[in-house]
């Protein structure tokens, strides 16, 4: 009995000391947690402020245009409020009933889809060659492919126009498709190169051992894996072809070959006072198709951009 008492006293004192230390340190942990929480709130606020400002800056013109399209011609000047007092769809009915809008809409669809398909068809094998093959001057050549993107479209208007006249390709939709593809191909190649480099080589080497050819690997293995990147390139190509105005102004003269941006430009200043509700409705109907397409493939676009920028 006498031998165990000192040990019990020692254990009791040790437990008391640990309890004292725990009680002394207990108030400090909530302070640290509160401090980290406060810093997190401040960081989130600093991130949210520019994002909110960017969203407001982006969507405000669209809502103003939408508001004008729902007003009549007199109300545009008499009522500056954003919410129309008597909203009406008459402007949309007039635009949709116009043969000009229908023709230019289908011209934009043909040019946009044609540019998208041709850009993907040319960009995929070119990007695959840059990503997988090793040859002298590869990096320098890849840099040179980006140089056309540095030249504004207005700077190449005259050379492209003279070339179209010489080859008798003026006033044709196929000319717009070829020109837009040439402008968008460097960006498509750069995005796809980064994505192809992120795909492990071992997958293709295993398919090669099984007897798959180069085009077989590209079609059945690399192609499905690179689908998000190809969708990204397609969306960017379609957007550029859908919104481009400068070159169509030079290369197209016939009313039946014009695209939506060109017809919207022709609506301005034709009469003494512009019909702002008609122009606003034309603008909204022009951008809604692309918004719907982008909303449908948005997750693939984000994945393609992130993967393409990883290398």
pLDDT at residue 266 in the model: 81
| Cβ–Cβ under 8 Å, residues 123 and 192 | yes
Checking if the pLDDT of 53 tops 50, the result is yes
d(CA 309, CA 173): 33
For residue 64, the number of C-alpha atoms closer than 13 Å in the C-beta half-sphere is: 8
pLDDT at residue 116 in the model: 93
Q: How far is CA 147 from CA 141, 164, 190, in A?
A: 10, 22, 12
Per-residue confidence at 202, pLDDT binned at 50, 70, 90?
confident
Lowest mean pLDDT among 32-36, 81-85, 102-106, 169-173: 32-36
pLDDT at residue 34 in the model: 61
pLDDT at residue 1 in the model: 44
What average pLDDT score do residues 190-202 get? 83
| Cβ–Cβ under 8 Å, residues 258 and 248 | yes
Q: How far is CA 217 from CA 123, 147, 166, 214, 224, in A?
A: 16, 30, 41, 5, 10
Count Cβ atoms below 10 Å from residue 21 Cβ, excluding itself. Answer: 10
For residue range 108-121, list pLDDT tens digits in order.
999 999 999 999 99
Q: What is the mean pLDDT of the chain?
A: 79
d(CA 238, CA 180): 10
Full-model pTM = 0.75
pLDDT at residue 309 in the model: 45
- The count of residues in the chain is 311
What average pLDDT score do residues 207-233 get? 81
For residue range 123-175, list pLDDT tens digits in order.
998 888 888 887 777 777 777 777 777 777 778 888 888 998 999 888 899 99
Per-residue confidence at 272, pLDDT binned at 50, 70, 90?
very low
Most confident of 101-110, 217-226, 290-299: 101-110
Count Cβ atoms below 10 Å from residue 192 Cβ, excluding itself. Answer: 26
pLDDT at residue 14 in the model: 55
What average pLDDT score do residues 258-285 get? 79
d(CA 72, CA 82): 13
């Amino acid at each position: 009995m006498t031998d165990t008492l000192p040990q019990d006293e020692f254990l009791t004192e040790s437990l008391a000391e640990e309890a004292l230390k725990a009680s002394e340190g207990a108030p400090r942990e909530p302070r640290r947690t509160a401090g980290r929480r406060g810093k997190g709130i401040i960081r989130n606020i600093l991130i949210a402020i520019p994002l909110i400002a960017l969203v407001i800056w982006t969507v405000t013109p669209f809502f103003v245009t939408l508001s004008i399209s729902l007003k009549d011609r007199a109300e545009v000047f008499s009522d500056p409020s954003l919410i129309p007092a008597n909203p009406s769809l008459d402007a949309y009915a007039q635009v949709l009933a116009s043969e000009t809008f229908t023709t230019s809409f289908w011209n934009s669809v043909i040019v946009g889809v044609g540019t998208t398909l041709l850009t993907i068809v040319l960009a995929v094998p070119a990007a695959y060659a840059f990503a997988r093959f090793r040859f002298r001057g590869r990096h320098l050549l890849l840099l040179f492919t980006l140089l056309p993107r540095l030249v504004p479209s207005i700077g190449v208007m005259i050379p492209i126009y003279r070339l179209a006249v010489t080859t008798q390709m003026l006033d044709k939709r196929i000319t717009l498709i070829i020109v837009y593809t040439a402008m968008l191909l460097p960006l498509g190649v750069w995005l796809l190169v980064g994505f192809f480099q992120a795909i492990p080589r071992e997958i293709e080497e295993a398919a090669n051992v099984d007897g798959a050819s180069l085009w077989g690997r590209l079609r059945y293995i690399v192609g499905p894996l690179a689908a998000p990147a190809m969708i990204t390139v397609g969306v960017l190509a379609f957007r550029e072809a859908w919104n481009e105005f400068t070159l169509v102004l030079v290369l197209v003269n016939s009313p039946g070959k014009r695209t939506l941006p060109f017809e919207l430009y022709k609506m301005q200043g034709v009469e003494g006072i512009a019909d702002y509700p008609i122009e606003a409705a034309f603008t909204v109907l022009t951008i809604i198709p692309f918004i719907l397409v982008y909303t449908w493939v948005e997750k693939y676009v984000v994945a393609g951009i992130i993967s393409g920028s990883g290398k």
